């Protein structure tokens, strides 16, 4: 490594691995040294899925090697904390200036500002959070759908003469079909790209503190740790999987963990792919007649709509947002989530198996199985956030906090979602091919030893939260149904038992 002093240091964070972004774009390798820090403190702050730690650290190492081959001096170092890493770097190299791209999280941005690092705006998103704040200002309540339509107009994607292509903004009604018997074999015909793990992977342990707690199965090459690997996965998705992506977007099938999902979020969130190129690639498939509009629109909404909207929410919310708890939920996370107790609930077991094996569950499993259960059972929202952050391959602070606090648990009282995303067993049965029939529990029953825990807890949840939720017109009909139940006392008693057994790991 060059020991020349006085070079400008560009500090690249582990989720900014793209030389085309604002921190590195146009930099002269002869005048720039790149700093990257693997922080022990970050690695021991919570249990992490083994595959996620492997992904982030390996991708950083590969990116460092790429920069070196491009002529940059790179200081990739392990340090007790990010601050310690910077201090040691400054001692060693005495840079003229330290520059960084604004981290995705607000806390990270604050830390760098305190350290005197010069920040440039983050352009790993298509809509900077200040632009998001301006859009929302004075509009009152703004939904993701409002934001998404504005972004479609601004960017021109899937637009024609100022109107949405096909005449509708949102084709979700075509994307919620229940699964059919052929869905799993069709998905299996296009298996994910798997990389061969090599010597870079073998050296992972040198970068990890002794006290790290790793969960889940070991890395198996599923996730892209380089730009090349990410592009291969993008190609697979757009050319082979995208045509089927839309129809059964919300479907669940035992053992079929990826179905027709893109498996690109890990690469997008690390910086291995940019949202612009991903949307361009998908829209091109529509223009070429190779993918139907419902699939393309549904995917574009996830990236241009949801992903960007959640970043805007995370960056503009108040400091108390991550610990909001509008429904007063205070139970601990059930041991089943951490893998410390098996469960006879087939939907939960299949989803947690997918998380253990792949650090992944698709969005409807996250929302309508895991977050649904946690919300119905009164689990602390921040405990769910913390677990999901460590367990999912694509989770970071900025994406998990609004996903859980806003979408998953309604803990923000309705700033992101217009109603709680909760359901009994009937919804899970409708959207899954084979969860409920072989299950020990009966999704039609709300009381008794074999009552489906989702069904029991759904009615009890409405009952317990009547003060907060009954005036929400989007769930008014549910309250009308609740008021017609003749066995509410028995439901309450069974719900108490279900929550106790969930907490004890015996459900």
Give 394 or 429: the residue with its C-beta nearer to ligand SF4: 429
Which stretch in 99-107, 344-352, 456-464, 478-486 sits in contact with ligand SF4 by CB under 6 A? Answer: 344-352
Quick one: which of 372, 367, 328 has its CA closest to 464? 328
Three-state SS sequence of 41-64 = HHHHCCCEEHHHHHHHHHHHHHHH
Which stretch in 64-72, 247-255, 358-366, 434-442 sits in contact with ligand SF4 by CB under 6 A? Answer: 434-442
Given 72, 207, 435, 461, the residue binding ligand SF4 (CB under 6 A): 435
| Tokens representing residue 471 in the block | 């005036």
> Taking CB under 6 A as the rule, does residue 346 contact ligand SF4?
yes
Q: What's the Cα-to-Cα distance from 334 to each of 331, 390, 456, rounded to whole Å?
A: 8, 15, 17
**Residues that contact ligand SF4, how many (by CB under 6 A):** 14
> Taking CB under 6 A as the rule, does residue 459 contact ligand SF4?
no
Given 303, 452, 469, 502, the residue binding ligand SF4 (CB under 6 A): 452
Give 176 or 430: the residue with its C-beta nearer to ligand SF4: 430
Handedness of CA 202, 203, 205, 208 (dihedral sign): negative
Which stretch in 42-50, 99-107, 173-181, 446-454 sits in contact with ligand SF4 by CB under 6 A? Answer: 446-454
Give 296 or 379: the residue with its C-beta nearer to ligand SF4: 379
Given 76, 317, 384, 439, the residue binding ligand SF4 (CB under 6 A): 439
Give 245 or 441: the residue with its C-beta nearer to ligand SF4: 441
> Taking CB under 6 A as the rule, does residue 453 contact ligand SF4?
yes
| Tokens representing residue 460 in the block | 């009890």
Task: Please name the residues in contact with 503: beta carbons below 8 A apart, sequence gap of 6 or more.
Answer: 331, 332, 334, 335
Which stretch in 61-69, 70-78, 96-104, 343-351 sits in contact with ligand SF4 by CB under 6 A? Answer: 343-351
Q: Which of residues 382-421 bind ligand SF4 (CB under 6 A)?
A: none
> Taking CB under 6 A as the rule, does residue 428 contact ligand SF4?
yes
Given 15, 429, 434, 460, the residue binding ligand SF4 (CB under 6 A): 429
DSSP string, 172-191: GGGSBPPP-TTHHHHHHTSP
Q: How far is the CB of 344 from ligand SF4 (least distance, A)?
A: 8
The DSSP symbol for 193 reads P
Quick one: which of 65, 75, 78, 67 has its CA closest to 98? 75
Which stretch in 241-249, 387-395, 422-430, 470-478 sits in contact with ligand SF4 by CB under 6 A? Answer: 422-430
> Taking CB under 6 A as the rule, does residue 436 contact ligand SF4?
yes
Task: Please name the residues in contact with 80: beta carbons below 8 A apart, sequence gap of 6 or more.
Answer: 39, 40, 41
Three-state SS sequence of 95-154 = CCEEEEECCCCHHHHHHHHHCCCEEECCCCCCCCHHHHHHHHCCCCCCCHHHHHHHHHHH
Q: What's the Cα-to-Cα distance from 286 to each of 173, 246, 275, rounded to whole Å?
A: 19, 13, 17
Residue 332 class from Cβ within 10 Å (0-12 exposed, 13-18 middle, 19+ buried)?
A: exposed
Give 345 or 407: the residue with its C-beta nearer to ligand SF4: 345
Cα separation, 198 vs 191, whole angstroms: 21
Q: How far is the CB of 435 from ligand SF4 (least distance, A)?
A: 4
Q: Which residues face 176 on adjacent strands?
A: 248
Q: How far is the CB of 502 from ligand SF4 (least distance, A)?
A: 11
Q: Which of residues 471-490 bind ligand SF4 (CB under 6 A)?
A: none
Cα separation, 289 vs 506, whole angstroms: 51
> Taking CB under 6 A as the rule, does residue 498 contact ligand SF4?
no
Query: For the chain, how big is the Rg over CA atoms in Å?
Result: 23
Which stretch in 111-119, 189-197, 438-446, 462-470 sits in contact with ligand SF4 by CB under 6 A? Answer: 438-446
Taking CB under 6 A as the rule, which mask of x and - marks residues 51-80 in contact with ligand SF4? ------------------------------
Which stretch in 110-118, 439-447, 460-468, 478-486 sits in contact with ligand SF4 by CB under 6 A? Answer: 439-447
Give 127 or 345: the residue with its C-beta nearer to ligand SF4: 345
Neighbouring C-beta atoms of residue 112, cutoff 10 Å: 23
> Taking CB under 6 A as the rule, does residue 441 contact ligand SF4?
yes
Q: How far is the CB of 442 from ligand SF4 (least distance, A)?
A: 6
Do residues 314 and 106 lie in contact, with contact meaning Cβ atoms separated by under 8 Å?
yes
Q: Which residues bind ligand SF4 (CB under 6 A)?
A: 345-347, 425, 428-429, 435-436, 439, 441, 443, 452-454
């Amino acid at each position: 490594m060059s020991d020349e002093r006085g070079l400008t240091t560009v500090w690249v964070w582990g989720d900014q691995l793209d030389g085309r972004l604002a921190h590195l774009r146009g930099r002269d390798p002869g005048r720039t040294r790149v700093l990257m820090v693997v922080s022990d403190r970050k690695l021991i702050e919570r249990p992490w899925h083994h595959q996620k730690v492997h992904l982030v650290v390996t991708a950083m190492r590969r990116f460092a090697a790429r920069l070196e081959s491009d002529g940059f001096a790179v200081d990739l170092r392990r340090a007790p904390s990010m601050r310690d890493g910077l201090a040691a770097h400054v001692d060693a190299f005495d840079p003229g200036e330290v520059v960084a791209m604004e981290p995705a999280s607000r806390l990270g941005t604050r830390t760098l500002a305190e350290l005197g690092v010069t920040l440039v705006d983050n352009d790993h998103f298509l809509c900077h959070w200040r632009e998001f704040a301006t859009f929302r200002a004075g509009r009152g309540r703004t939904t993701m759908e409002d934001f998404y339509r504005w972004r479609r107009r601004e960017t021109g994607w899937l637009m024609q003469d100022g109107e949405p292509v096909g005449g509708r903004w949102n084709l979700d009604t075509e994307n919620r079909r229940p699964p059919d018997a052929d869905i799993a074999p069709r998905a299996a015909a296009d298996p994910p790209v798997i990389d061969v793990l090599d010597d870079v992977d073998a050296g992972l342990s040198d970068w990890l503190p002794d006290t790290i707690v790793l969960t889940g199965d070991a890395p198996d090459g599923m996730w892209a740790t380089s730009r090349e690997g990410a592009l291969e996965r993008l190609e697979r998705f757009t050319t082979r999987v995208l045509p089927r992506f839309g129809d059964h977007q919300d479907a669940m099938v035992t053992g079929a963990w990826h179905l027709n999902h893109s498996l690109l979020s890990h690469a997008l969130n690390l910086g291995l792919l940019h949202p612009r190129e991903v949307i361009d690639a998908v829209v091109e498939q529509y223009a070429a007649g190779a993918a139907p509009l419902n699939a393309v629109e549904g995917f574009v909404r996830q990236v241009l709509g949801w992903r960007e909207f959640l970043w805007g929410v995370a960056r503009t919310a108040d400091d108390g947002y991550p610990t909001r708890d509008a429904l007063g939920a205070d139970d601990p996370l059930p041991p089943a989530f951490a893998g410390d107790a098996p469960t006879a609930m087939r939907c939960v077991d299949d989803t947690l198996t997918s998380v253990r094996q792949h650090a992944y569950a698709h969005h409807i499993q996250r929302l309508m199985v895991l977050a649904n259960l946690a919300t119905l059972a009164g689990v602390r929202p921040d405990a769910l956030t913390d677990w999901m952050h460590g367990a999912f391959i694509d989770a970071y602070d900025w994406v998990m906090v609004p996903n859980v606090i806003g979408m998953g648990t309604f803990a923000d009282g309705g700033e992101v979602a217009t109603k709680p995303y909760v359901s009994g067993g009937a919804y899970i049965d409708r959207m899954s091919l084979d969860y409920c029939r072989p299950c020990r529990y009966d999704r039609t029953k709300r009381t008794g030893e074999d009552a489906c825990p989702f069904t029991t807890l759904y009615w009890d949840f409405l009952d317990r939260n009547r003060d907060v939720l009954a005036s929400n017109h989007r769930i008014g009909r549910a309250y009308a149904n609740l008021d017609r139940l003749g066995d509410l006392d028995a439901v309450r008693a069974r719900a108490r038992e279900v929550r106790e057994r969930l907490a004890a790991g015996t459900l």
